[in-house]
Amino acid sequence: MRPSRPPVVATWLLEHFRSGSTNDCITGDLIEAYQGGCSRAWYWKQVLAAIIVSFYSRGSYMTRQIKRFTFGSVIALTIALCVFIALRNNSNRAYYPGVGGVGFPSCKYCPKPTYSESALKAKYEGNVLLEAVITAEGHASKIRVVKGPDQGLGVEEKAIETLGRWRFNPAQGPAGKPVAVRVPIEVAFHLPASK
Amino acid sequence: MSKRGYLGNFELMVMLVLIRLGENAYGIPIAHEIETKVGKEVSLGSIYATLERLETKGLVSPKLGEPTSERGGRAKKFFSVTAKGVREVSETQRVLKQLWQGLRQLEGRKV
């Protein structure tokens, strides 16, 4: 397994310029293949192909207009990209823990989740898998549900609310400074009686 | 005649590979299987674009796996063919077989 980090710019481009519901999966697949020995050139080629394919497979009005003015659009997109990268503050970047010398955050204050009325009535027990950015200050932001029971019990909302209250010891970056990291977090729901 | 959109070439390939791979069908094994059988490199982007389209048509159903560190904290998305998808593949096969039959121009040719 290769210890180095996949091309950051390519990953960023993929995450921001590929339209579709499977961005995270394709990024994960590319990272897995890269860690498995695929080259940087292969990684870049796959990223660019993914962006172009997603761009051309969508039939929106915007896409049709962009297709009509391909050359101008490419220049406009390139300029926009350069400006965006230049304006982007490095401190807002979220790393992935365990990659490129970035550590993992740890829990400092993580109280158990509260139950919604309907979840309590349904005696729900189980886990909700969330993804969040743990900031350099140790707060959870950009929280989203990856997997939940999806039974309309309000468990996902309670899990998000709970994670918002949690405090973390932030992850250490390669330079030894705290950095923001994107991590999966599981919030477990257990009924008080089952303790 | 019922309103039906027959599967395209690549869609059919992806569907057949999904059936072949069973439970372990996500981006990398799908790409690997197609590359092995076809002998050409395929982009993961094309595969996922096709899977998204098939999902919209209700021919495949996704299932999210657990995120792992070797994938940079991202989860795998496993795809399986739905009952509707299996019917669609069978129907496409039936239609292609019918179209294939009796073509003297192709008789005796090695494919």
- Those residues of chain B whose CB sits closer than 8 Å to some CB in chain A are 26-28, 43-46, 48-49, 51-53, 55, 64, 66-67, 69-77
pLDDT value for B2? 47
Does residue A63 carry a pLDDT above 50?
yes
pLDDT value for A6? 85
pLDDT value for A90? 52
The nearest alpha carbon in chain B to A54 belongs to B49
Closest CA to A25 of B14, B25, B37: B25
Does residue A195 carry a pLDDT above 50?
no
Picking from B41, B74, B77, B78 by the largest number of A CB atoms within 10 A of its own CB, the best residue to mutate is B74
As a whole number, mean pLDDT of residues A47-70 equals 69
Provide the mean pLDDT of chain A: 82
Closest CA to B92 of B15, B24, B36: B15
Q: Do A25 and B77 touch (CB under 8 A)?
A: yes
As a whole number, mean pLDDT of residues B88-106 equals 87
As a whole number, mean pLDDT of residues B27-56 equals 90
pLDDT-based confidence at residue A173 (cuts at 50, 70, 90): confident
Q: How far is B28 from chain A, CA to nearest CA, in Å?
A: 6
The nearest alpha carbon in chain B to A6 belongs to B72
Three-state SS string over chain B comes to: CCCCCCCCHHHHHHHHHHHHHHHHCCHHHHHHHHHHHHCCCCCHHHHHHHHHHHHHCCCEEEEEEEEEHHHCCEEEEEEEECHHHHHHHHHHHHHHHHHHCCCHHHCCCCC
- Residues A119-140: tens digit of each pLDDT: 888 888 999 999 999 998 999 9
- Residues A174-184: tens digit of each pLDDT: 888 888 898 99
The nearest alpha carbon in chain B to A133 belongs to B73
Q: Do A31 and B45 touch (CB under 8 A)?
A: no
pLDDT value for A73? 72
pTM > 0.80: no
pLDDT value for B1? 41
As a whole number, mean pLDDT of residues A65-82 equals 74
Cβ pairs A/B, distance under 8 A: 95
In angstroms, how far is CA B38 from the centroid of its own chain?
13
- Residues A90-122: tens digit of each pLDDT: 545 678 888 878 889 999 999 999 888 888 888
